[in-house]
Amino acid sequence: MDPVLQEIYRTVLDGAPFVLGAYFLLWLGLFGYAFMITKRLKGVEKELAVIEESVSRRGAPNS
Amino acid sequence: MSVGEKRFLGLGLYTWIYITLGLAAVLTTAALTMTFFFTPVVLADTVVDELRVIGGVPIQNQLLFSQKIFYFHVPVAMSSFLVFIFTALNGVRFLIKKEKIYDTKARIATEVTLLFVLLTMATGILWTRYEWGTWWVWEPRLTTYFILTLMVIGYFVLRNSIDDEERRATYAAAFGIIAFINAPISFAITRLVPSSAHPVVFRAGGGLISSQLIAFFLGMAGMLLFAWSVYQIRLREQDITDRVEVAKAALEE
């Protein structure tokens, strides 16, 4: 292999798995968490809407 | 007024959350782009942006690729310290006023802190492995940050071990305040113990050049906006969960 390329690849690519791994973990962690809590928020909002509708339906004949 | 009904500049909190979350994504992407396309590479503690000769051929820059982790690792770590302030602040407010909302805010702030702490550890370990050839070193910054990590995890262990709501909130508030004391220590340890393997990045005479600073501050702003957004989303979720509980109780009566 070309010694110049070998030297360049050795200095550059040796660190690449660690850098890419770090960025991958970071983005996965941040946006995975954001996605998870947004989904959970939508879930409880739906639940609240259903329950509030039930409460208002139950209260309707008396009003 | 519930959390989601607050308005600022005519926009609801929900709109603001998604605006800041989007902005956080834009800023972190801009930081990432700057990191890989504009910031010069670094050799040890020195910026290298000059012609070098490798194998008899002049090469621009001796690349230390692993240093690129810095531009996200440090903002995430700084954000963990800053978000942790809210655990302590809300802990103090809870101990003074004994209102549940402050306990909830402290718990959510600690949850966001835990996310940032874990990401700091993960990215830091990868950097350490490449730079120092080992996964872990018991040097002052790593040791104090490890203690901080254990305390943040301990906060949730403590909460889960106490059933009584009032007692749980009081103990958690006190523990959160004590745990926070470690944050400024961990932050300042590189200045207090100069032998630390972690360099002091922001120092008199400058440690970073402008393109590095721009990438760093874009990442920092992105992380803080992200932290604010997820904090607000969790707060809103907790608010709705409480309303669901109240509505369920009303249905059962």
Report the alpha-carbon distance of residue A62 to residue A5 in Å, rounded: 83
What pLDDT score does A63 carry?
46
- The answer to whether the Cβ–Cβ distance between A22 and B126 falls below 8 Å is yes
For testing the chain B interface, which of A1, A2, A23, A42 should be mutated: the one with the most B CBs within 10 Å? A23
Cβ within 8 Å, pair A11-B123: no
Predicted-assembly ipTM surpassing the 0.90 threshold: no
Per residue in B130-141, pLDDT tens?
777 778 888 888
Query: Does the beta carbon of B234 lie under 8 angstroms from any beta carbon of chain A?
Result: yes
**Residue B199: pLDDT band by 50, 70, 90 thresholds?**
low
**What are B190's two structure tokens?**
């590189």
CB contact under 8 A, A48 and B123: no
% of chain B beyond a pLDDT of 90: 49
B230 vs A: CB within 8 A: yes
Percent of chain B with pLDDT over 70: 80
Average pLDDT of chain B, as a whole number: 84
Q: What is the pLDDT of residue B47?
A: 46
Residues 1-30 of A with CB under 8 A from B: 3-4, 7-8, 11-16, 18-19, 21-23, 25-26, 29-30
How many C-beta neighbours within 10 Å does residue B208 have?
18
Quick check: B48 pLDDT over 50?
no
B67-95 tens-digit pLDDT: 778 888 999 999 999 999 999 999 999 99
Q: Can you give the residue range of the structural domain that contains A26?
A: 3-62
For the packed helices B70-97 and B100-132, what is the interaxial angle rounded to 10 degrees?
160
Q: What is the pLDDT of residue A56?
A: 80
Count of domains for chain A: 1
Supply the CATH number for residue B61's domain: 1.20.120
- A6-54 residue pLDDT tens: 666 666 666 677 778 888 888 889 889 988 998 998 898 898 888 888 8
Q: Which domain holds residue B26?
A: 3-252
- Could you tell me which residues are beta bridge partners of residue B57? B54
Instruction: Provide the Cα torsion B225, B230, B236, B238; round to 10°.
Output: -150
- At B61 the pLDDT is 44
For residue B81, report the phi and psi dihedrals to the nearest 5 degrees: -65, -45
Q: How many domains does chain B have?
A: 1
